[in-house]
Amino acid sequence: MPFSVLAELGNGNLNPPIDIAYTNKRVDEVLRIFLPENIHTIFASPSQRCQDTAQLIVSALNKAQATTEVKSLPSLAEVHFDLYGLDRRFNVQKEMQKKGIVALNSGVFEGMVSGEHCESMGSICRRVQEIFSTLQNTSRGIALCITHDFLMRVIELSIKRVRSCESITVQQLEGTQRNGYLSGFATNAALDAFVPFE
């Protein structure tokens, strides 16, 4: 993707539609992992692509005669960043020419940790705690969360560090898995287990 398109994604001005055929295929794969009758709640980022994905999952669950509720959860929104500002500070565009998307990720991670041109780690951690509180107050079955890669990386580290995301470093963020379309991880009610799935 061109740098300008990535910048528009980062500041939330661009919200591309989902690929319905691809997403339906991934939904089928996810539902082989989690039994449809056990999924009672789907929490989704307010972004249109996450909401659309949630609706595709609900359609698939309805075919399996499962009852599932979709709730929009603002704390699941993607980490916002100013890619042009990150570029001025961390030379993201030049680095992307050499290293590709890894350089974009590193620039955003630098911004998250420093709080420069990006939502700060303190703000992200407060949102992660809101997500955890919401999940712990969900009493029935399995809850799915549909969100975005940068936020998922902080959630991953928070779970692995027993729900604490204070003092997360760029190196720790770089050591997390990249979360593609409907891939991610599972945890338990105590939020102390981490099981990746694709």
pLDDT above 90 (res 63) = no
**pLDDT, tens digit, 9 for 90 and up, residues 144-179:** 999 999 999 999 999 988 667 878 999 999 999 888
Closest CA to 107 of 124, 123, 74, 85: 85
pLDDT above 80 (res 66) = no
Q: In 112-154, which ranges are E strands?
A: 142-146
**Domain 3-197, architecture per CATH:** 3-Layer(aba) Sandwich (3.40)
Closest CA to 142 of 40, 27, 23, 28: 40
Reduced to 3 states (helix: H, G, I; strand: E, B; else coil), residue 73 is coil
Map out the domains of the chain as residue ranges: 3-197
